[in-house]
Amino acid sequence: AAAQKGGYDSFMAKEIHEQASAVADTLRGRLENGALQLDEMAIDPSVLRSVDKIVVVACGTAANAGAVAKYAIEHWCRIPTEVELAHEFRYRDPVVTEKTLVVAISQSGETMDTLMAVRHAREQGAKVIAICNTHGSTIPRESDAALYLHVGPEIAVASTKAYLGQITACYLLGLFLAQVRGNLYPDEIAALMADLEKIPEQIQQVLDNAGQVEQLAKDMKDTSSVLFLGRHVGYPTAMEGALKLKEIAYIHAEGFAAGELKHGPIALVEEGQPVFVIVPSPNGRHSLHSKVVSNIQEVRARGARTLVIAEEGDDAVVPYADEVIRIPATRTLFAALLTVIPLQIFSCELATAKGLDVDQPRNLAKSVTVE
Ligand code: G6P
C-alpha cells in the first residue's frame, strides 16, 4: 500500500498532489478549432436550447461543486439555476418540467440519494446530464447524457481531485450551454477557455507552496473549532473547507457566507478563534473584494486568528491577516479551483498530525449506496 501511495502518507495526500493533472485531464480534448465540443455527452443541442431552468442535484462534496456551478452557469448562460441536496430535492415535490435540465453530480455514480433524484426528475419529464468519474456506473447509465471527469480512480474517502474535476466539468458544461445558446461570443469562450487551461499550472504553483499550510496544520493540531468564510464562489469553498475538516480531522467546523456574519455567526467569534477567509480577486467585478476585507477586519476586531487565502499581490489583506496564503491570479469564477487546495492540505495534514486514519475516516463510506 505504501508504494501505491507514491511516497505520500495517505491516498488523500497523493490525490491532492495529483490535482494539476486531474484538471488537465478533465479539460483534455474539449476544444476543436477554437470551439468547445462535448461530443462525449451525446445530447441533442436542441434539447439544450429549450432548457428554461437548471437544477443541480448532488450530495456531500459534489454538492459543493454544484454550488460553484450555479455562479458560473447563471453568469454565462442566464439560465435560472438551483442547487439542491439530492435527498431534499427528491422528497419535497420540486417543480420540474420537460424544459428543466437536471445536472446530477456524483464521483462514484452510485450514491443512492442522487440516483433517486435522477429517477424522480426523469419521471417528471426532465432531461438529466450526469457529471461522473466512474464509467459505466448507475447514475450515468440512468441519465440522458453523461460528462466524465477523467481524473482517474479516487481512493481516499474524502474527495479532492474529483471535486476539482467536478467544478471543471461544470465550467465546461456552462460554457458549452453558452456556446449552443449564443449567450457568449466565440472569442469570449476562447478567452475563458484559455484562462481555464492555465489553471493546471497554477494548481501546481499552489501545491509547490504546500509547506506553509502543512506547518500551520501541525501547529494547530489541538484546535477544537475552525470557521471558514467566503463570498461568491468563495462561499462554497468555505463550505468545502469545513466539510473536509469535519470528515477527516473530526474538528468542529462551519463554513458560511461572509455577508451572513453580522446576522449571527459573528457571535461565535472569541479570542483566538481560527477563521479562514477566502478573498476574491481585487481585480474582479463589483466591490466583492473590499467587502471581504471588511469581514476580515470585523472578525479580527473580536479576537479571531485570521488565516487569509488571497491573490498574489493583494496587499489590502496584509494588515488584518495573521497568516496570508497566496494564490495565483485568475478570474473570480475560476479561483474556486485554486483557493480550496490550501484547505484540503490543511485538513489532510492536521488529521495526519493527529495520527488519524486519513483515508478511512470513522463512520463514513466512499460511496453511500443506501438511502
Ligand atoms: C459520501 C462520501 C463523500 C462524497 C459523497 C457523494 O458521503 O463520503 O466524500 O462527497 O458521498 O459521493 P458521490 O460519489 O456521489 O460524489
**What's the CA dihedral at 123, 126, 132, 136 to 10 degrees?**
50
Nearest CA owner, ligand 1 atom 4? 60
Q: What is the pLDDT of residue 370?
A: 86
pLDDT-derived band at 58 (thresholds 50, 70, 90) equals very high
Mean pLDDT of 343-366: 94
What residues are in contact with ligand 1 under a 6 Å CB criterion? 59-62, 106-108, 111, 114, 157-159, 364-368
Q: Write the pLDDT tens digit of every residue in 127-150.
A: 999 999 999 999 999 999 999 999
Beta carbons of 290 and 263 less than 8 angstroms apart: no
Answer yes or no: is pLDDT of 371 > 90.
Answer: no
Task: For the sheet with 100-106, list strands across it.
Answer: 81-85, 53-58, 100-106, 127-132, 145-148
Ligand 1 centroid, distance to 317 Cα (angstroms): 34
Express as a percent the part of the chain with pLDDT over 90: 91
Mean pLDDT of 344-371: 93
The DSSP output letter for 330 is -
Ligand 1 centroid, distance to 245 Cα (angstroms): 15
Answer yes or no: is pLDDT of 1 > 80.
Answer: no
**What's the CA dihedral at 183, 185, 190, 193 to 10 degrees?**
-10
Answer yes or no: is pLDDT of 292 > 90.
Answer: yes
All 3 cell numbers of residue 111? 450514491
Does residue 366 have an active-site annotation? yes
Q: Which residues contact 154 (CB under 8 A, 6 or more apart)?
A: 15, 107, 133, 160, 161, 162, 366
Nearest CA owner, ligand 1 atom 11? 367
Question: Model's pTM, two decimal places?
Answer: 0.97
| Distance between CA atoms of residues 237 and 278, nearest Å | 8
Give ipTM to 2 decimals: 0.88
Q: Write the pLDDT tens digit of every residue in 234-284.
A: 999 999 999 999 999 999 999 999 999 889 889 889 999 999 999 999 998
Q: Note the helical H segments in the chain.
A: 11-17, 19-27, 45-50, 61-77, 86-90, 112-123, 138-142, 161-181, 186-197, 199-208, 210-219, 234-249, 288-301, 336-353
User: How many other CB atoms sit within 10 Å of the CB of residue 72?
Assistant: 24
| Distance between CA atoms of residues 341 and 155, nearest Å | 18
Express as a percent the part of the chain with pLDDT over 70: 99
